Amino acid sequence: MIERMRWSSCVLAACAVLVAGCGNDTPTAPTETTETTVAEPTTQEAFAGTLPVGGVKFYSFTTAENGTINVTLTDVGGEYVPATVMISLALGQPSGTDCSQNQSVTTAAGTTAQITGTYAPDVYCVRVADIGNLFAPASFSVTVAYP
Amino acid sequence: MRRSLFLLVPLALVVACGDQIPTSPNEATTTSLSVVFEGRLEVGGSAFYSFTVQESGSLTATLSSVSLVGRYEALNLPLRIGVGVPRGESCTITQTAEVYPSLTRQFSAVLEPGIRCIAVTDTGLLPGAAIFSIRFVHS
């Protein structure tokens, strides 16, 4: 009888160990690291035009490799338009009849990039829009630098 | 004999602990896009619509209607439809066709994955600003 109890205990213990070992085989992400090169901007384009009151304008471009995109609103002006006026400046991707916004700022013109970011090679767009500050159409200049 | 049975239980558990290799889902994944692109076309102007192609496939387009702004009568004038890639303030066209409004598809193109655009342009025959409607499908 005692021997039988021992056997039973052993079998139960073995089962417990095996069931515990039957845990989720959830795959884990590989630990190897892949280095992604971040290229510096090598191409610069100018996007200039006239922004109507309450209007939106955007400009599309294609980046060739993963790297930094810099967007600078360099100038806003025109009759009845103060040089310090704030407008919306955004970086995104063309979608429908507009440019979706991944990053956006409300900014006045300046000499340093108001938007900067690292992006994979693809088609992107810069977008300027009046946020209600314009009382007359404004001329604007944007430079975009990308790899 | 009973001992053998006791030994069989852990063995069965070991067998049950087989590889849990994930299998790929067998549901068919199709990415289809169907859009109605409507807008205003100025004399000599163009308009475009951007969209993302997930998988290589064919696009078909139908210029279903054109009418002058403020008028209900349909215009039977051709417009130029094209597909390409958004570039600058427009759509850089890689394939184009001149089509008349119709309820049957008039344009088709094969598109690779990426951000693409479809554009409509006045061929020089519009007598005034017009409202257009284009239905396109990518599958």
Task: Give mean pLDDT, residues B78-88.
Answer: 97
Tally of structural domains, chain A: 1
Any idea what DSSP says for residue A111? S
On chain A, the residues whose CB falls within 8 A of the CB of B17 are 18, 21-22
**Residue whose entry in the numeric block shows the structure tokens 């049975």:** B5
Q: How close is the nearest chain A Cα to the Cα of B97, in Å?
A: 21
Whether the predicted pLDDT of A15 surpasses 50: no
The phi and psi torsions of A37 (rounded to 5 degrees) equal -75, 135
Residue B5: inside a domain:
no
pLDDT at res. A104: 97
Return the CATH number at B103.
Answer: 2.60.120.380
Residue B134: inside a domain:
yes
Tally of structural domains, chain B: 1
Which of helix, strand or coil describes residue B75?
A: coil
Contact B89 A19 (CB under 8 A): no
CA distances from A82 to A79, A89, A108 (A): 8, 17, 10
DSSP tally for chain B: helices H, then strands E? 1, 8
- Where in the sequence is the domain holding B126, given as residue range(s)? 33-138
Whether the predicted pLDDT of B9 surpasses 60: no
Residue A71's pLDDT band, with cuts at 50, 70 and 90, is: very high
- Where in the sequence is the domain holding A58, given as residue range(s)? 43-146
Q: So what's the ipTM on this one?
A: 0.76
Contact B87 A11 (CB under 8 A): no
Whether the predicted pLDDT of B113 surpasses 70: yes
**Which residue of B lies nearest to A26 if distances are taken between CA atoms?**
B20
Highest average pLDDT, of A19-33, B6-20, B77-91, comes from B77-91
pTM for this structure? 0.77
Residue B4's pLDDT band, with cuts at 50, 70 and 90, is: low
